[in-house]
Amino acid sequence: MSAPLLVAEGLHRSFGETAALVDAALRIDEGEVVAVLGSSGSGKSTLLHCLAGIVRPDRGRVVFDGQDLVTMSDARRSALRREAFGFVFQFGQLVPELTCLENVALPLRLARVPRREAEQRAGQWLERLEVTDVAGKRPGEVSGGQGQRVAVARALVTRPRVIFADEPTGALDSLNGERVMRLLTEAARDSGAAVVLVTHEARVAAYSDREIVVRDGRTRNLEVAA
């Protein structure tokens, strides 16, 4: 087995009195789609935030590509999120003032890519996600499904190694949800990105290669040996 892309071990994280993660662990390999399943409040979003270096766990290790995110400086982690990770959330992730094209170009611009080139590459991703027609519109003017596909385009535009998707279809009906999931997983597979998919919906999780269950902050590793 080759070295895993992202490994987490012994993660603990509390918010005040509430323990969100208790000794959570998981492993993600290059290019695989892993669903993180669990009910509301089970700690799955916190797990994702820890894996993505957004939240620092109280204890434990998160190693991405040989580097421990927990001990990394905030600036380094920001840079890592910018360059190696992509994010899709349930809603509210697009900057309302910017056009969809500018939103997709934003991570590139943050990585200091010149505006012209950034917007050109953003345009290609909008096409890949079948939302070319909304390029000039503001997020408030497009449908939920279109908005999510713009968000997926934005997550992929930097060609990240891992995409973190937190309930990406949570605000969509099943048809739009399926479309977003299909485009997300296909695009991720095409560009070789691993996907960490947090969801409570089985049909969404069915787009994954395997799943990890989080309950009361603990991960249950049920990888069938077979």
Partner 1 sequence: MSIGQTFLGLLEATPRHGYDIKRRYDEHFGHSRPVAYGQVYATLSRLLRGGLVEVEAVEPGEGPDRKRYAITEAGVADVAQWLARPEQPEPYLQSILYTKVVLALLTGREAAELLDVQRAEHLRLMRELTRRKRGGDLAEQLICDHALFHLEADLRWLELTTARLDDLAARVRA
Partner 2 sequence: MTGRGALADLAMGARMAVTGGREGWTRALLTAVGVGIGVAMLLLATAVPGALDARQARGDARDDLRFGEQVAAGPGTLLVHALDAEFRGRPVRGRLLRPEGPAAPVPPGLTALPAPGEVVVSPALRRLLDSPDGPLFAPRLGGARVTGTIADEGLAGPNELAYYQGDDRLSDTSGATRLDRFGGGLPGEGLGPVLMLLVAVIFVVLLLPIAVFLGSAVRYGGERRDRRLAALRLVGADTTMVRRIAAGEAAAGALLGVVVGIGFLLAGRQLVPLVTLYDISVYADDIQPPTALLLAVVLAVPALAVLVAMLALRAVVVEPLGVARRSTPVRRRLWWRLLLPAVGLAMLLPVAGLREGDGGVTRWVVPAGAVLLLIGTVTVLPWLTDLLVRRLRGGPVSWQLAVRRVQLDSATSARLVNGIAVAVAGTIGLQMLFAGIAGDFTTASGQDTSRAQVQVQFLNQPDLARVLRQLGGADGVTAATGTLISVATIGSPDGPPVEIRVGDCAALAEFARLDRCADGDTFLASDPNDPTVIPADAMLVVRDNSRWRLPTAARAAQARPDPAGWMQNGVLLTPAAAATRTLGPLHSTVYLKLDPAKPDAVEHVRNAVAAIDLATPVSVLSSTIESPRFADIRRGLAIGTVVTLLLIATSMLVGTLEQLRERRRLLAMLVAVGTRRSTLGWSVLWQTALPVGVGLVLAVGFGLGLGAALLRMVQAPVTVAWPVVGFAVGLGALAVLAISGLSLPLLWRLTRADGLRTE
Torsion of CA 166, 171, 175, 179, to 10 degrees: -40
Distance (Å) of CA 170 to CA 87, 128, 163, 199, 206: 15, 22, 17, 8, 15
Q: Which amino acid is at 196?
A: V
The strand pair at 210-215 and 218-220 is best described as antiparallel
For position 63 contacting partner 1 by CB under 8 A, the verdict is no
For position 59 contacting partner 1 by CB under 8 A, the verdict is no
Judged by CB under 8 A, the chain residues 160 through 199 that form the site for partner 1 are 182
For position 136 contacting partner 2 by CB under 8 A, the verdict is no
Could you give the CA distance from residue 146 to residue 148 in angstroms, rounded to a whole number?
5
For position 1 contacting partner 2 by CB under 8 A, the verdict is no
For position 198 contacting partner 2 by CB under 8 A, the verdict is no
Distance (Å) of CA 175 to CA 125, 168, 178, 182: 21, 13, 5, 11
* Choices 2-10, 46-54, 190-198, 208-216; region in contact with partner 2 by CB under 8 A: 46-54
Site string for partner 2, 63-102 (x = CB under 8 A): ------------x--xxxxxx-xxx-xx-xx-xxxx---x
Distance (Å) of CA 164 to CA 18, 55, 120: 24, 13, 24
**Which residue lies nearer to partner 2 by CB, 25 or 106?**
106
Q: Measured from the CB of residue 87, what is the shortest distance to partner 2 in angstroms?
A: 5
Q: Measured from the CB of residue 115, what is the shortest distance to partner 2 in angstroms?
A: 6
Could you give the CA distance from residue 89 to residue 95 in angstroms, rounded to a whole number?
13
Judged by CB under 8 A, the chain residues 24 through 43 that form the site for partner 1 are 35, 37, 39
Residues at the interface with partner 1 (CB under 8 A) = 35, 37, 39, 182, 200-203, 205-209, 211, 213, 215, 220, 222, 224
